[in-house]
Chains A and B, each alone.
Chain A
Amino acid sequence: MDKPSKVLIVGSGPIVIGQAAEFDYAGAQACKAMREEGVTSVLVNSNPATIMTDEGVADIVYIEPLTVDVISRIIERERPDGLLPTLGGQTALNLAVDLADAGVLDRFDIRMLGTPLEAIRQAEDRALFRQLLDEIGEPTPESEIVTTLDAARDVAERMGLPLVVRPAYTLGGTGGGIASTRTELEEIVAKGLAASPISQVLLERSLLGWKEIEYEVMRDGADTCITICNMENFDPMGVHTGDSIVVAPSQTLTDKEYQMLRTASLKIIRALGVEGGCNVQLALAPRQEVSDWDAPDGEGDPPYFVIEVNPRVSRSSALASKATGYPIARVAAKIAVGRRLDEIPNAVTQKTTAAFEPALDYVVAKIPRWPFDKFPLGERLLGTQMKATGEVMAIDRSFEAAIQKAVRSLEQGGRSLLWEDPAWKTEELQKVKWAATDDRLWRLMAALRRDADPLDLSKKTGVDPWFLQKLARIIAMEHRLLEEPLTPDLLRGAKRMGFSDEQIGVLADELPERVRVRRQEMGIKPVYKMVDTCAAEFEAATPYFYSTYEEENEASPLQGSKALVIGSGPIRIGQGIEFDYCSVHAVWALQEAGYHALIVNSNPETVSTDFDTSDRLYFEPLDEESVRDILDNETADANGSAPPTIVQFGGQTAINLAHPLHVADMPIIGSSAEAIDVAEDRSRFEEFLSKLGIPQPPGAAVTSVEDALKTAAVIDYPVLVRPSYVLGGRAMEIVQNDDELSLYAAAAAEAGPGRPILVDKYLEGREVEVDAVCDGEQVLIPGIMEHIERAGVHSGDSMAVYPPINLTDAEINTVVDYTQRIGLALEVRGLMNIQYVIVRSGESSDVYVIEVNPRSSRTVPFISKVTSVPMVRLATHVMLGRSLAEQGWTGGLQPKQQLVAVKAPAFSMSKLSGVDTYLGPEMKSTGEAMGVDETFSAALAKALVSAELALPAEGAVLLSIADRYKEEAEPIIRRLVEAGFRLYATEGTAAMIDGLGLPVEQITKKLREGHPNVVDVIRDGTVDGVINVPEGRMTGTLRDGFHFRRAAAVGRIPCFTSLDTARAAVDALLAGGQAYTIKPLSAYLT
């Protein structure tokens, strides 16, 4: 095959559940591979917070919506001869199929690289998939495809329940589930048909309780096939693999089982003809006799079934890459342009080639990170619909240690395996129905702690006894720590099982610091072992390490100048891929300055945990113990000082470490722990601002309900309440009266006794956000971002535009002035983010500071890209002592670019049943998209399309607007009608529209009052969008709208809960006819 000369690589768009940072990692690796192969890469993605969209990663970068129309225009402009869609998740794969169907690939003579079109169809289309597997003699569970609800009922009649429902062509199992009753069947099938772009679902025999095993396989053009890794799910079949705890390699499979499934996986990749990577999911009988494996015509039921195949790089392949050290995406990209496995050097050993199978000499545990800390009311039952936003991975030499380190990595309020919900009582744990939930691991521990029998728990949960026996060993160690004196043997035993100093302290009644000192006195320190793909068989060059408590340390301190970058851990709401972007840029800047860059992180999906990103990667939990151990390990001699740490780029995770590191005398570069404390401590911050004469909304930090009410009485309602020291606006509310405030304050006091809550005046003004770099002398502001939504919607959920479109020069000057003064007075060294609210009354306008964060923010990648100011690089050099002036930059607001860029949040609401989609001060989005163009309306339209918030060109909209906003909604309604939309509305809103003399259909029936009601018109597709603006929080109007907001989320139609967003969407719609521009990002910049 001829090597293509120019390849279009399609990214995966904004981060949503089921498609997270792993595709940035994959895409970035692919670009690197293209460069090495001398192939020009053209990259398109709508997600600005990605490394792959950086200058210097791909050759030509487009940040544009991922639609057929847009990609066609890019193809027309760039004329690539190859399309590589296998590294951008399901999004890119689906797009490739659409492009082929639209004839675009043929028209421009573009080759599909990696996976043949036919293979995508075979893997995605259930009927074709079955047919293929039948042909090659691989077993699939009995199943049938249906396209209507009636057909589904017939199948259930014949095959019986439970049945697994799998919609075709969806990511993360969207819209699927397991139906055990007729009602469930109807519900899930209806949802599945809606979610599938071809309205097709598969009903499949349930293999609940079977072992779930995955293989990552690769194949090259010479038909060489290898497996990179196999993985065993702790949670048996029935839980989406993205929501399962996973270990690698498999632990309970005999060699015969391992090889049987391996052979099946290789047969499948051969049959599909994939050239690159592929993921095969299989179910293995946990009890049934394995059929006579060495007799090809053995009789009886097969002991396994093939469940699913992803003919592309996936989340699992990112995990497998990090678990083994084998760079799957990079090798897949090289294969796609014609390389053979045995021609590709093994980047790890640098002696052997990529044609081999990694051998592990450690255990890897992955635990998903679910968003239920943010959505306590969400449905926590796990099934075939993935719900996790991210994941953590931990490596150690025992299962116990790997799982315990993974739990520490989750960063759920310091929750270790010791954690128990206070509501769990012994009797309940005995009676509990062991359905899979996000907290099942802890419930199992609690039951074992109460002497439950592991074998009995295995029967109830389907979790293999092996895992439960291991958990029971952890419990046995807990008992020893409770009862026995802390001898060196006991302490070493506990550390080998992954107990943290803090856990040991809790059990042995010691302070964690005391445990640390004692174990160090006993010489009990972790050593660091290498992830080398070959179980130490060959000398390896990879700087990728994990800690363990054994004898030999392989990571002696790196010589020369060095610094440790703290990463940001698992992707969760409020702390996403943006911080990984910043961490990676910090590494690059350190290297540019001649430093060895060390990084610590626990997230296997990311670019930062690619083994060749940094000079040394520590794959460890991001807690005090791990980071201090790493710093100790990097301290050359007993009298030497630890290398400096950078905490500014890893989000709140890293910032939270500033204080403990400071106390432990570990040097931090960048803003001091002191500056961080001033910004985060409400009363110190107030004092600080008032000294500067900069206003902030009046308010106070209180610790009791009485004080909260007193404060509110002084500053007047509405007030904004939130706990201090949190990220992502967690548990933040706007309250309107004493009753609501009392409720909130009481709940907060219960959740965090003694912790202050902040009560601030809520100002309903225009929100503005600034990121800046400060070196102590100058403050550089790349640009100002204006939010589309008024204050009250969390900044992470707001749309924002650069440059601002509604601010006066005076307002801009004030913002710049405040930013500079705050940066200098706070002695910020590096990055800072400030949020302002501007309140206008008549001629005057006042600028208030809402929040200052002396660290990188979520918007740094966005603003860096659209202003061309390399913020993280500048900030890192500042931390190393080079002033902005020395770097050739001057402070102040940088000149405006001639582009307009709009950032829009992306939500994963269709996947989180029970979660209200109403936007407020609590952050709910999982990712973001960017639209860039020459005009505001074009940029806005692009952003909305990319974030799946755009209204279709024509159709109908359902409106339900609280009285308070009715008048303000009037012009929006008029414009909708002007655009040709039909209007449906609830009673009051309909009366208002009717009063305007506009046509409207009133939906009188409320839910449960018969049909058609408001939910029906959403479910049956009558309306294409919803505008629902309720009043206040905790009130009736908010509750009323819940069901139709959910219905909109499930039906995946846009639902606007802020008039500001609705206005923007309608404006974009009206301007939609306008031509938009398609050009590389660099061509927009001046």
Chain B
Amino acid sequence: MNEPSHLVLEDGTVFTGRAFGAEADAHGEVVFTTSMTGYQEALTDPSFAGQILMMTYPLQGNYGVSGFDAESDRVQARGFVVREACDLPSHWRSEGTLHDYLASAGIPAIQGIDTRALTRKIRSGGVMMGAITREEPETAIAWLREAQRYDGSDFVQEVTTPDGFSWAEPERQQYHIAVLDLGVKHNILRILRSFGSRATVVPSTTSADDILALKPDGIVLSPGPGDPALLDYAVATAKALVGKVPIFGICLGHQVLARAWGAKSYKLKYGHRGANHPVREEATGRVSITAQNHGYAMDPDGLPSEIEVSHVHLNDGTCEGLRHRELPIITIQYHSEASPGPHDDRYLFERFLGLIKEVRTP
């Protein structure tokens, strides 16, 4: 800990700071999130697989880490970049420091760099590949340029459950939900449970028939990492599920469904990552503040007429949600499960469960 370390970017930029976390090197796509809290939730969010995560808020690790705040069973980001990591955290729930947590997860991290300068660089140049390294920066830049690029990789295969699992059952069960795990966050399962639903999580390559064989009342296509254009298998599954049961596509799940309906994806310059993204629901005109984490977006042009854009991002007008006019299918581009982020969007889960109810009580 504390020895000199570098963050190098593929364009040759070098930031020098101090190491913490694991004594290792790592590379990945360098992205930033503006969420001011929830570093542990972010680190364990499978959607950050393949990426080096940088927090724009300078003080991280203040309240330590705890089993309570994990969103999956491991740290998913490949590296962590902060202005300052707290080594004496304070919270009654804390079980350890950020440093120890990352060290035991094998994830290297760097602190003491001008993270705002890095953010400005990414904002103007777009996301790029980078590495956290203790080697000479020039050496690292050389191997970074040869390394596997983020864009061409299917990270869903790295994060999905190998065999599937069931989440703790609610006390009074109402519905059974199958969750296609493209990189699910535990909070989706917690929220489903809080609304009385039993969740069965299945691997990302599970076929539609196998999913329907579980006799679910509804299906959630989960969020997850990477480029939806690489996920033909999941798109095929989604196509086969449409029209069978109510479906809720969240984030990558939204993108997969949109592809199933014929929409194309494109990469955003530096993505949407943070807990302050304003999204307007077109039906009500009401804006809610959402938690977001996606580097790709869907172009709604070319969607069939039965699909309407239900939600729009206020800042850049991108598509943030879709709704099937006839079938009980809704999608949302952001993380309606929050964690980290505002709890304004639980209504979407209620709406999804409402759709199930309508189907079940004709």
Write the nearest CB–CB distance from A1052 to chain B, whole angstroms: 42
- B 41-73 to A, binary, CB cutoff 8 A, 1 in contact else 0: 100000000000000111100110000110000
Closest 7 CB pairs of A and B: A255-B38, A552-B117, A466-B90, A359-B34, A535-B56, A357-B276, A255-B37
Write the nearest CB–CB distance from B79 to chain A, whole angstroms: 19
The answer to whether B108 has its CB under 8 Å from any CB of chain A is no
State the CA gap A352–B287 with chains docked (Å).
13
Which of B135-143, B227-235, B340-348 is the interface stretch? B340-348
Q: B276, A222: Cβ atoms under 8 Å?
A: no
B 85-130 contacts with A by CB, 8 A: 86, 88-93, 114-117, 119-120, 123
Query: Which residues of B sit under 8 angstroms from A226, Cβ to Cβ?
Result: 278, 287, 289
Q: Which residue of B lies closest to A251 (CB)?
A: B62
Query: Which residues of B sit under 8 angstroms from A399, Cβ to Cβ?
Result: 59
The answer to whether B36 has its CB under 8 Å from any CB of chain A is yes
Q: B58, A361: Cβ atoms under 8 Å?
A: yes
- A 533-556 to B, binary, CB cutoff 8 A, 1 in contact else 0: 011111100000000001110100
A 963-981 contacts with B by CB, 8 A: none
Partner of B62, one of A256, A358, A466, A534: A466
Write the nearest CB–CB distance from B71 to chain A, whole angstroms: 10
Q: B114, A551: Cβ atoms under 8 Å?
A: yes
The answer to whether A161 has its CB under 8 Å from any CB of chain B is no
Query: Which residues of B sit under 8 angstroms from A552, Cβ to Cβ?
Result: 114, 116-117, 120
Number of interface residues of B (CB under 8 A): 57
The answer to whether B148 has its CB under 8 Å from any CB of chain A is no
- Chain A CB within 10 Å, residue with most, of B58, B115, B116, B120: B116
Partner of B58, one of A260, A397, A538: A397
Q: B343, A263: Cβ atoms under 8 Å?
A: yes
The answer to whether A253 has its CB under 8 Å from any CB of chain B is yes
The answer to whether A464 has its CB under 8 Å from any CB of chain B is yes
The answer to whether B153 has its CB under 8 Å from any CB of chain A is no
- A466/B89 contact (C-beta < 8 A), A353-B314, A550-B117 known: yes
The answer to whether B315 has its CB under 8 Å from any CB of chain A is yes
State the CA gap A251–B37 with chains docked (Å).
9
Q: A287, B92: Cβ atoms under 8 Å?
A: yes
10 extra A-B contacts, CB within 8 A, seeds A251-B62, A255-B340:
A222-B284, A226-B287, A254-B93, A259-B341, A260-B343, A289-B92, A359-B34, A359-B36, A361-B56, A535-B57
Q: A258, B37: Cβ atoms under 8 Å?
A: yes
Query: Which residues of A sit under 8 angstroms from B27, Cβ to Cβ?
Result: none
Could you pull out 5 A-B pairs where Cβ atoms are within 8 angstroms? A259-B340, A353-B314, A356-B278, A361-B115, A536-B116
The answer to whether B194 has its CB under 8 Å from any CB of chain A is yes
Q: A352, B57: Cβ atoms under 8 Å?
A: no
Q: Is the interface of B mostly helix, strand, loop or mixed?
A: loop
A residues sitting closer than 8 Å to B (CB atoms) are 222-224, 226-227, 249-256, 258-260, 262-263, 266, 286-290, 294-296, 340-342, 351-353, 355-363, 397-399, 464-466, 469, 529, 534-539, 550-552, 554
- B 7-23 to A, binary, CB cutoff 8 A, 1 in contact else 0: 00000000000000000
Partner of A249, one of B36, B123, B194, B280: B36
Q: B314, A340: Cβ atoms under 8 Å?
A: no
Write the nearest CB–CB distance from B309 to chain A, whole angstroms: 16
Query: Which residues of B sit under 8 angstroms from A249, Cβ to Cβ?
Result: 36-37, 57
Using a Cβ cutoff of 8 Å, how many contacts connect chains A and B?
171
State the CA gap A286–B277 with chains docked (Å).
30
The answer to whether B134 has its CB under 8 Å from any CB of chain A is no
Q: A361, B57: Cβ atoms under 8 Å?
A: yes
Q: Which residue of A lies closest to B315 (CB)?
A: A352
Q: Which residue of B lies closest to A469 (CB)?
A: B88
Q: Is the interface of A mostly helix, strand, loop or mixed?
A: loop
The answer to whether B187 has its CB under 8 Å from any CB of chain A is yes
Q: A252, B90: Cβ atoms under 8 Å?
A: yes
Write the nearest CB–CB distance from B315 to chain A, whole angstroms: 5
The answer to whether B339 has its CB under 8 Å from any CB of chain A is yes
Write the nearest CB–CB distance from A480 to chain B, whole angstroms: 15
- A254/B286 contact (C-beta < 8 A), A360-B36, A536-B116 known: no
Query: Which residues of A sit under 8 angstroms from B341, Cβ to Cβ?
Result: 255, 259
Write the nearest CB–CB distance from A477 to chain B, whole angstroms: 14
Q: A537, B285: Cβ atoms under 8 Å?
A: no
Write the nearest CB–CB distance from A1031 to chain B, whole angstroms: 57
Q: A361, B116: Cβ atoms under 8 Å?
A: yes
Query: Which residues of B sit under 8 angstroms from A250, Cβ to Cβ?
Result: 37
The answer to whether B321 has its CB under 8 Å from any CB of chain A is no
Q: B123, A539: Cβ atoms under 8 Å?
A: yes
State the CA gap A397–B63 with chains docked (Å).
18
The answer to whether B190 has its CB under 8 Å from any CB of chain A is yes
Q: Which residue of A lies closest to B289 (CB)?
A: A357
- A342/B344 contact (C-beta < 8 A), A224-B286, A294-B194 known: no
Q: B89, A342: Cβ atoms under 8 Å?
A: no
State the CA gap A253–B35 with chains docked (Å).
13
The answer to whether B6 has its CB under 8 Å from any CB of chain A is no
Q: Which residue of A lies closest to B87 (CB)?
A: A469
The answer to whether B299 has its CB under 8 Å from any CB of chain A is no
Write the nearest CB–CB distance from A401 to chain B, whole angstroms: 10
Write the nearest CB–CB distance from A248 to chain B, whole angstroms: 10
Q: Which residue of A lies closest to B276 (CB)?
A: A357
Write the nearest CB–CB distance from A483 to chain B, whole angstroms: 20
Write the nearest CB–CB distance from B47 to chain A, whole angstroms: 16
Write the nearest CB–CB distance from A711 to chain B, whole angstroms: 57
State the CA gap A295–B123 with chains docked (Å).
38
Q: A363, B58: Cβ atoms under 8 Å?
A: yes
Q: B123, A266: Cβ atoms under 8 Å?
A: no
State the CA gap A250–B69 with chains docked (Å).
18
Write the nearest CB–CB distance from B182 to chain A, whole angstroms: 22
The answer to whether B198 has its CB under 8 Å from any CB of chain A is no
Write the nearest CB–CB distance from B67 to chain A, whole angstroms: 13
State the CA gap A810–B157 with chains docked (Å).
97
- A536/B120 contact (C-beta < 8 A), A286-B92, A351-B315, A360-B36 known: yes
- B 263-302 to A, binary, CB cutoff 8 A, 1 in contact else 0: 0000000000011111010001111110000000000000
State the CA gap A455–B277 with chains docked (Å).
38
